[in-house]
Amino acid sequence: RVPMGPLSLLLALSLLSPRGSAGGSCPPRCVCASNLLSCSQANLSAVPALLPHFTAVLDLSHNNVTRLRADWAPARLPHLHALLLSHNGLAFVSTEAFTHVPRLRHLDLSSNRLRTLDENLFSDLGELEVLLLYNNEITTVDRTAFENLGRLRKLYLGQNRIARFPLELLREGTRLPQLALLDLSANRLRAVPAGELQALPAWLRDRLYLHNNPLACDCLLFQLLDRGHRRHLSAVVDFQDELRCVLPGAPASIKILALAGQQPLNCSKAQEAVLEAHLGDSVTLGCDSRWQGVRSRHWVTPGGERVLGDGGNGSAVLLANGSLQLRALRPEDAGTYACWVAGPLLNETLYVELLVHNFTLHGPHDTLNTAYTTLVGCILSVVLVLIYLYLTPCRCCCCRGTEKPPAPRDDSINSSVLSTTPNHAGGTGEPCGSHMASGAGTGQNGRFKGGGTPPLPARQGPKAQRKVSDPDSVSSVFSDTPIVV
């Protein structure tokens, strides 16, 4: 019996030691079931100090844990994969609070009083898949707060006070590569980059919740949601009544999907997928399915040909990501292509319309289309008509054949200050050729007169000495020939 005393004492000490308590004892005011610890509604102001090392799920919700320091878990908890801290009035979380729980996959910090998400706050949680931060007082989100969360699939940030969320985390696709759900509903977002969001894959837009935000009405936003509604995306179809926006000067918000044709924006519906190209180009048609776990894809050309690999003529190639690449486009390649997707739940068919212009993008100038050629022809015709009407030179005597003799004009001045050489005789007109050959003579003052007219016969009477001028002579105000009256 004496040798058994020290053994019993050692056993009792091992059970009372902190290590022994952490190994298998259930903390006070908690309920333990296998590797599940439920300390909910236990009126705790701090995390229990001694937690079993085999703990996999720890529920601390509905308590008064207002601060989560770095030493809340003094020992490493390698099996902990779910931590529930909702409804605690939590206002502070240390950036080193998750150092000892690297295997955490589910973290619930919802319904607390968090105001900021600081730099690298969750960087130690490389295996985190679900993060719940809804119903807090968050106003600022640092773009590095979700650094190293390569496996994060669901991020809930609804019912906060966020005025700007770093959506570049989604655009880059490297920081959160597996993110499939982002809840930004019921915040204070006034604008979102609709063009960039449209470029996101459909399986992410299917779970991008933006309802109950004071968004400013915009046609790009309308077209983004209109495409989602036609694609039956859950984030749009399920919350189409809560997707509202504010027009400038309007007293109340309106439904975004009701902006089509409404003043003052007068937004038009956008086509689902239309791609324009030119002869000889190479294009890639994307198969933007809303299913992530796609089992198989295949394309059907406008001619009804099914494309599984290389096309029959070698111009159509099915890429590894499900896209269809068309090389050296021809006019017959234009039309509507269909992508058949076999998803994990349902099948989906996507349609892409390809327009092939019948001229090359960088071709010569003679490859103008018909409309442009017609327009240029009309303009040239108008210009020529105007030139003919207003810029045609006056006809001269040299362009005439036989002239009628001018009628004698009595008691009138037959000369003009615009006449170069007044003619003193009248007669029958001659063709221009005869004027140059035989009508040349010497004019007044001994000057040479090349286009004179034959003299008229003398008239009787007191006015017999008057002369008549040639009404068709070329006139000039610079003539030095005296005027005869």
Give the pLDDT confidence of 114-124 residue by residue, as tens digits.
999 988 999 99
The CATH number of residue 324's host domain is 2.60.40.10
Mean pLDDT of the chain: 75
Contacts within 8 Å (CB) and 24+ apart, 49-53: 49/74, 50/18, 50/21, 50/22, 50/25, 51/22, 51/27, 51/75, 51/77, 52/22, 52/23, 52/24, 52/25, 52/26, 53/22, 53/23, 53/77, 53/78, 53/79
What would the pLDDT profile of 131-170 be if each residue is shown by its tens digit? 999 999 999 998 888 989 999 999 999 999 999 988 878 8
Split into its structural domains, the chain has a count of 1
Between 6 and 406, residue with greater pLDDT: 406
Compute the average pLDDT of residues 329-345.
79
pLDDT tens figures, 287-301: 777 777 676 777 888
**194 within some domain:** no
The model's pLDDT over 195-229, given as tens digits with 9 standing for 90+, comes to 888 878 888 889 999 999 999 998 889 988 988 88
The whole-angstrom separation of Cα 80 and Cα 280 is: 59
What tokens were used for 137? 């007082």
Q: Residues 379-430: pLDDT tens digits?
A: 988 888 888 887 766 555 555 554 555 555 444 444 444 344 444 444 444 4
Say if residues 452 and 427 touch (Cβ distance below 8 Å). no
Quote the pLDDT of residue 329. 84
- Residue 232 pLDDT exceeds 80: yes
The answer to whether the beta carbons of residues 145 and 119 sit under 8 Å apart is yes
**Banded model confidence at residue 334, pLDDT cuts 50, 70, 90:** confident
Does residue 75 have a pLDDT over 60? yes
- In-domain check, residue 307: yes
- pLDDT, position 35: 92
- Percentage with pLDDT > 70 across the chain: 68
* pLDDT at residue 356 in the model: 84
- Written as one letter, the residue type at 470 is D
Does the structure show a pLDDT above 60 at 263? yes
- Report DSSP letters for 373-410, one per residue: HHHHHHHHHHHHHHHHHHSPPPP-GGG-S-PPPPPP-T
Check residue 24 and give its pLDDT.
Answer: 61
pLDDT band at 241 (very low <50, low <70, confident <90, very high): very high
Does residue 334 lie in a domain region?
yes
Q: So what's the pLDDT on residue 175?
A: 78
Candidate ranges 32-36, 364-368, 404-408, 439-443; pick with highest mean pLDDT:
32-36
> What is the residue range of 284's domain?
275-357
Q: What backbone phi and psi angles, to 5 degrees, belong to 385?
A: -65, -45
Query: Which of 238-242, 306-310, 384-388, 411-415 has the weakest average pLDDT?
Result: 411-415
**In this predicted structure, what is the pLDDT of residue 107?**
97
Q: Is the pTM of this model over 0.75?
A: no
Q: Is residue 281 part of a domain?
A: yes
Closest CA to 145 of 221, 211, 93, 194: 93
Look at residue 326 and tell me if it is in a domain. Answer: yes
What span, in angstroms and rounded, lies between the C-alpha atoms of 373 and 368?
A: 6
Pairing of strands 335-342, 347-357: antiparallel
- As a whole number, mean pLDDT of residues 474-478 equals 41
Does 310 fall in a domain?
yes
Cα separation of 233 and 345, whole Å?
A: 14
The DSSP output letter for 267 is B
Q: How far is CA 292 from CA 133, 285, 287, 341, in A?
A: 24, 18, 12, 11
In a domain, 88, yes or no: no
Q: Is the pLDDT of residue 310 over 80?
A: no
Residue positions counted in the chain = 485
- Residue 394: per-residue pLDDT: 59
Q: For residue 233, what are its two tokens? A: 């995306």
Residues 9-23 have a mean pLDDT of 35
Domain assignment present for residue 351? The answer is: yes
Strands 116-117 and 92-93: unpaired
CA distances from 375 to 89, 229, 288, 380 (A): 73, 41, 40, 9
